[in-house]
Structure formats: C-alpha cells, structure tokens
Chain A
Amino acid sequence: MKDPLGFAFRRLGGQYEVDEFGFDAELTEALLEVLRPLYRCWFRVETAGLGNVPRGGGALVVANHSGALPLDALMLQVALHDEAGRTVRLLGADLVYRLPVLSHLARKSGHTLACPPDAGRLLGRGELVGVFPEGFRGIGKAFWHRYRLQRFGRDGVVATALRAGVPIVPCAIVGAEEIYPKLGDLGVAARVLGLPYLPVTPFFPWLGVLGLVPLPSKWLIGFGEPIRTDGYDPGDPRAAFELTDHVRETLQRQLRALRARRGPAFPLPALPRLAW
C-alpha cells in the first residue's frame, strides 16, 4: 500500500467515495491485498487467454462455479484485476446479501445481487460483469460431479447481455473443485441455518475450524474467445435459449480442455534427488 497513513485518515473520517451500488474502490484494493497470497502462493493460479477479456466497455464473463465456498469468485476477481486490469462486478445470490458482514463486504467490493435490473444497469455503464449461472447447483455439487457443468439458472443473465448487446466471455476455472471435496451434505442442519447446503468433506466438520482451510489445489483460469450477441434478435425468446445453450457448451468444452492441461490437482513437488 502506497500511503497507509492517508488511507487510515480517509477511512476513519469517512472521506471516501462509493458508487450507487456501494462499490468502494479504495477498500477493494485493500481487500485484494489480503487475497493475493492465497492467489499466488496457496493456489498458484495461472491464467490463460487474457487477450479475450475486453480492455474496456461492457462485457459479461460467464464462469463455472464450484468449491462449496465461493473462493473461485474471489480468485476470478484477483485475476481480472491484476492481470487484465479490470474491475469485475460479480452477481451473487441473495443469500450473500442476507448475511451479516458478507453483505456489505460484497457490495463494497463491487458486487451486487444477481437480477436483470442490476446486471443491465452495470452492463449499460460499460462495466465488466461476472456471473456464475449454475448458482448453488454448481458450487454445492458433490465431489464426484466435479467439472460437470450444471444447469444454468433461469434468471436469464444471458438474456440481459443479449439486450445490452455486449459480448459474453466464457471463463473456465479449474482447481476450485478440489478445495473442499464435498462428500456429503448435512441437509437438516443446513435447513435450520437457512443455508442451501452444509458440506461434509474429509476435514469438515471433523476438524472444526481447521477443516475450513482449503486444500492447496493447483488452479488455472482460462478465458475463451468472446461470444458476440449482436447477431441475435433481442426480442426473440428463443434467441436467449439458443445463446445460453451455446455459451454452456462452449464453457463445458473449455473446462474439459483446461482440466486436461492442468493435470493432477495436487502435483507432488519434485523430490530432491540424492546425488550418487
């Protein structure tokens, strides 16, 4: 951080700016600073196809979702910020905005509720919007379903991109599937807590808080060629279906290729060879 004292004064005096969504650019920089060690050292994230992310203007990044906790969203944010120089505005479930702490941190780091008015508004302002259309079906799926793209939500964010006439960038995230291998689900406890699922992993809940440490899998984030939406007729309801299918198939293909390219999730470090 360049000017920690000035930062502290601005924060304590409330002299910082937020946009109408509550996005606080200065605080986001500080939060990304905290995430960077996780990005660089823990998951060793590598990116591919950065040239496919538009340098400016509205675009919709459509990514696969996995890992029980949305660390993939945070890593995508770091990747786009650090390596593509863009602030991504992610669309999240309303659960995020119901929960204390998470709700305002999500708004302050630029994210908002997954709903057509917000998505359309951000795209119209020329922002890069990110979405995980599988939603809870994707992030809460069992370990043996890994890298299998789930059904896309009906909230129609693809249709919003179609109406806004912005390109769709498919984004495959490989590695998040292995951070919390979900073997079971404490369904009843989840319902009591008002959560969509409560995963059982080899370490959680057996090790308590320690079980929340994500496994250090190797990550790759790859951006595919932008899919243009201007060839479709926004008034045709079938166009949105067709486009959604097209995006989904493209993303699944991309995901398979990137997973093969990564190889094992937990590559063993090269053992020191004894010289004789």
Chain B
Amino acid sequence: MGNTVLVTGVARYVGARLATALAADPGIDRVIGVDTVPPTAFARSGGAQLEFRGIDLRSSDLAKVIGTADIDTVVHMTLLSGPARSRSALKEHNVIGTMQLLAACQRSATVSRVVVRSTTAVYGSSPADPAVFTEETEAAEPPATGYAKDAVEVEGHVRGFARRRPDVAVCTLRFANFMGPGVDSPLTRFFAQPVLPTVLGFDPRLQFVHEDDGVEVLRRAAGEDHPGTFNVAGEGVLMLSQCLRRAGRVAVPLPSPTFRVLGELARASGLLDFSPEHQALLTYGRAVDPSRLWAELGWTPTFSTADAFADFLARHR
C-alpha cells in the first residue's frame, strides 16, 4: 500500500491543501512536501507525518530524496503559470523540473504511482476546435506559447515515462481553471477587478473546478491506481458574460487588437498576467468533457462550474 507520498509544489495553495489532506489520511504514513519556498498554510497545520524539504526540482537533491525515502506515490503539481520570473526560467522550472523528477522516479524501485497535475490549456482555444474536448481530441491549433506549451511538453515527458515504466500507474489530470475563495490565479485576479476588459463581439464559454473538488480528485488519484489521462472540470459551463453579470462587474468590450495590446501592457507592468493563451481563452473559450474521470472514480464533484464561481464570488464581493 502507498505509505509515503511525495508532493511537489506544496508552497502553493492547492498543493498545501493536498499535502494536509493526505497527512490526515490514516492509510498514509508519511507525506513529504517539496518546493523551493516553504509553504505558509502548510507550516501551521504541521502534523507529525508532514515534512517539508526546500528543494529545487532541477537539482540533484530531489533524486536523493526519492532514492532514500522509499516513496510509493509521487504527486507532481509544480506546473506554474505565474508571471513572477522570466519566460525561460518558467519553462526551465516546468519542463526541466519535470524531466528531473521523472528521471528520479524511473530509477526508483519503490515508486509505483505517479499523479501529474496538467491543465485543459493543452487543448488551446481556437475557433476551429470542437465545442467540447474529450481526452482524445487533438487541438486544432496546439498551444505555441507559455504555460500551455509547457504543459504539452510536460505531458509528452510523462507519456514517455509511462511507456518506459509500464509497472508504474501514471495518472495525468487535466484541470480546468481552479475557482474558489482560496484560489489565486490569473483568472481569479482577473475576476476580482471591478472593471473588466473583454473582447468585443466574443463571449467565451468558461469552465471551473472548485478548489475542494480539485483537492479531492488529487487525493483520490494519490490513494488508488487510476492510470490514464482525465479531464477535470465542474459540470456545465458559464459564458464570460454570465460570470460578469453574476459578479456585478462592469465589462469594457475592446476590439481584439486593442485587447491584445492592453494585455501585453498589463503583463509588462506586472499588474495582471495576461498571457496570449489567456487572451485566446477569453476570446474563444473552451469546454471539456470530464465524464470519464467521474466514471473512473465513481464519484462526482460537489460543485458545478456555476457553484464554484458563486463560491468564489461569496468571498470576492
């Protein structure tokens, strides 16, 4: 049975919550959290089974931890979209970090389960795509930039690992945008503003996963073998216009070239992370079919897309 779980990316909100939830699980003896900076929420909950290691995924320290700690399950969730560092640093963190981690897992004799947090951004957003993506759908225009492209590369490395180690159960979870009172992402920061720029003449479909459901999905994936790739999203979709009206925000529709330039300016000034893939999402939208995961887990999420957004608004009025 999986007794020792390694969680990467615990300094961030969902990672910290997952580590705490896993530590509370009686079936798990030990949870090792890894990140470059110590988590704040995590330190407070600090149970006896919870350890934190300040490790950069790109360093060889990680291989040492995996080699010595008899780790059974690895939950990899460091995929970053943050604007904090330069693009090359971000890519190195996302892709090189994953390669290092997978290399360490491949050498390990104890790791029997790997869970990777990916994103539905791997499908891109374009007018030539089907309305609803299933796990098999090929993107019409695969993401060529940023975070989404990193995610595509990370998934490629994960598939390669799964081929080389067929004895390890590899579960790739493609999450829709997280939404809820505790989430801090480019999208939640976008919705927290009083006046929002939108793309004139477009009303994208958006899909959210509530943070509680996201943590629960990760916890279940870390606790049992669910090999394969799965979409994770709350039931239903919300149009951007619906979100804005429910939030009582003022929309400022801008022609798409203006929207793009403003987005770049906001990004350069560090005000708001308005990456090109984010702009594509706010123009063409995206919806996925998560039914395969619900059938696999025999569980359905508590929050629909609309519920998750309502819960987010309850905090951000």
Interface residues of A (CB under 8 A from B): 11-16, 18-22, 24, 94, 97-104, 107-108, 112-113, 115, 117-118, 121
Q: Is the CB of A14 within 8 A of B245?
A: yes
List 8 contacting pairs A-B, 8 Å CB cutoff, sorted by A: A13-B245, A18-B238, A22-B237, A24-B239, A100-B202, A100-B256, A103-B284, A113-B128
Bound-state CA distance A265–B132 (Å) is 41
Q: Which of B237-268 contact A (CB under 8 A)?
A: 237-239, 241-246, 256
Given A15-B246, A104-B203, residue A22 in contact with residue B127 (CB < 8 A): no
Given A14-B244, A14-B245, residue A20 in contact with residue B132 (CB < 8 A): yes
Taken residue by residue from 220 to 243, chain B's Cβ proximity to chain A (1 for < 8 Å, 0 otherwise) reads as: 000000000000000011110111
Given A13-B245, A14-B243, A97-B284, residue A20 in contact with residue B203 (CB < 8 A): no
Q: Which residues of A contact B202 (CB under 8 A)?
A: 100, 103-104
Using CB atoms, name the residue of chain B closest to A120: B130
Q: Which residues of B contact A104 (CB under 8 A)?
A: 201-203, 239
Given A97-B284, A104-B202, residue A16 in contact with residue B242 (CB < 8 A): yes
Q: Which residues of B contact A94 (CB under 8 A)?
A: 127-128
Q: Which of A20, A98, A115, A118 has the most CB of B within 10 A?
A: A20
Q: Is the CB of B256 within 8 A of A13?
A: no
How many A-B residue contacts, CB cutoff 8 Å? 82
CB of B134 within 8 Å of the partner chain: yes
Q: Is the CB of A118 within 8 A of B239?
A: no
CB of B129 within 8 Å of the partner chain: yes
Bound-state CA distance A237–B210 (Å) is 44
Q: Which residues of A contact B127 (CB under 8 A)?
A: 94, 97-98, 103, 113
Using CB atoms, name the residue of chain B closest to A10: B245
Q: Which of A15, A22, A112 has the most CB of B within 10 A?
A: A22
Given A18-B242, A20-B237, residue A117 in contact with residue B201 (CB < 8 A): no
Bound-state CA distance A121–B256 (Å) is 31
Bound-state CA distance A113–B131 (Å) is 7
Q: Which residues of A contact B200 (CB under 8 A)?
A: 100
